[in-house]
């Protein structure tokens, strides 16, 4: 089956404008400079995910196509409206920026690995004050939305972003909120990408259902040394996309992470212009 997904992007903290190399903060249209290493890393990720796209898409239960649409666009037959949101600035983002600005930086280390963060200062990093402001600023846009379901990564910075950006919806109990393990950021090696226990998260965010988080501890942390591969992350994003496609809701919001969303947009979803709608899934 082919399911169309109309994508309304709300990538609030690292939305890259291809033509200008600028950053749109909080979806306001105001651009600010981004660091060269960020552009280089995005290009590297896109290349890696593109290399596994055919393999990943071939395993999926649905072939999913997408096209950007306006926030208030109707969900036509066979289509869903999905708003993808990247979390606001986290403590780990600031730590990395300061780490790399040091004249002593070796060009490859990060401030949140087991050797540089032995006490776990950045485990499941939360939003900074600026990150909170970015999420709150997004309400001007989310006020126009009427989602049937809000889905969040179980990691705190994504959950915080969702609850702040959609605070009026949450207060009105306008839609269920589900944390989904598959929307986890690229896992392993970075302490900032190791989530808290399920019990701790459920206590911290009582408005969120953790029915799709089945393990008490982070199942993707592994040995804490190895970083998750592009194929593994893309496969996980594909499984999440299949789950989305099978859901009954027609208008959904997904609040997650740059690596996860890059995998989704590069290795999982196919532009509608590239998808022959009469072609069945193999």
198-243 pLDDT per residue, tens: 999 999 999 999 999 999 999 999 999 999 999 999 999 999 999 9
pLDDT of residue 280: 37
The string of pLDDT tens digits covering residues 146-196 is: 999 999 999 999 999 999 999 999 999 999 999 999 999 999 999 999 999
- For residue 74, how many other CB atoms are within 10 A of its CB? 11
- The three-point CA angle 68-72-74 to 5° equals 80
pTM: 0.87
- What CA–CA distance (Å, rounded) separates 217 from 196? 7
Is there a contact between 186 and 160 (Cβ–Cβ < 8 Å)?
Answer: no
User: Which of the residue ranges 47-56, 69-78, 246-255 would you say has the lowest mean pLDDT?
Assistant: 69-78
- The three-point CA angle 56-61-62 to 5° equals 90
Residue 85 predicted with pLDDT over 80: yes
Q: How confident is the model at residue 38 (pLDDT cuts 50, 70, 90)?
A: confident
pLDDT of residue 40: 82
pLDDT of residue 20: 27
Residue 144 predicted with pLDDT over 70: yes
Is there a contact between 51 and 230 (Cβ–Cβ < 8 Å)?
Answer: yes
Residue 274 predicted with pLDDT over 60: yes
pLDDT of residue 35: 64
- What CA–CA distance (Å, rounded) separates 230 from 226? 12
Q: Which residues are catalytic?
A: 87, 185
pLDDT of residue 37: 67
Q: Average pLDDT of the chain?
A: 86
The string of pLDDT tens digits covering residues 121-135 is: 999 999 999 999 999
Q: Indicate left, alpha or beta for 27 from its phi (over 0: left) and psi (-120 to 50: alpha).
A: left
């Amino acid at each position: 089956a082919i399911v169309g997904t109309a994508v309304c992007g709300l990538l609030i903290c690292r939305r890259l404008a291809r033509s200008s190399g600028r950053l749109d903060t909080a979806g306001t249209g105001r651009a600010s400079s981004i660091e060269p290493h960020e552009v280089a890393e995005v290009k590297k990720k896109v290349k890696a995910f593109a290399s596994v796209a055919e393999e990943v898409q071939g395993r999926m239960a649905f072939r999913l196509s997408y096209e950007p649409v306006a926030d208030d666009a109707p969900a036509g037959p066979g289509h869903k409206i999905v708003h993808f949101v990247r979390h606001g600035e986290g403590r780990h983002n600031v730590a990395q920026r300061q780490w790399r600005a040091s004249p002593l930086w070796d060009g490859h280390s990060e401030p949140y690995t087991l050797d540089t963060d032995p006490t776990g200062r950045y485990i499941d990093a939360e939003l900074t004050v600026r990150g909170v402001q970015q999420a709150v600023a997004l309400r001007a846009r989310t006020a126009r939305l009427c989602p049937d379901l809000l889905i969040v990564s179980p990691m705190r910075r994504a959950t915080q972003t969702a609850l702040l950006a959609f605070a009026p919806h949450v207060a009105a109990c306008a839609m269920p909120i589900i944390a989904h393990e598959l929307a986890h950021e690229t896992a392993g090696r970075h302490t900032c990408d190791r989530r808290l226990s399920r019990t701790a998260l459920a206590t911290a965010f009582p408005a969120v259902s953790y029915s799709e988080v089945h393990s008490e501890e982070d199942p993707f942390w592994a040995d804490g040394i190895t970083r998750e591969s592009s194929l593994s992350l893309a496969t996980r994003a594909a499984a999440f996309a299949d789950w989305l496609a099978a859901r009954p809701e027609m208008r959904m919001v997904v609040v997650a992470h740059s690596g996860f969303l890059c995998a989704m947009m590069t290795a999982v979803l196919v532009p509608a212009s590239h998808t022959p709608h009469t072609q069945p899934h193999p």
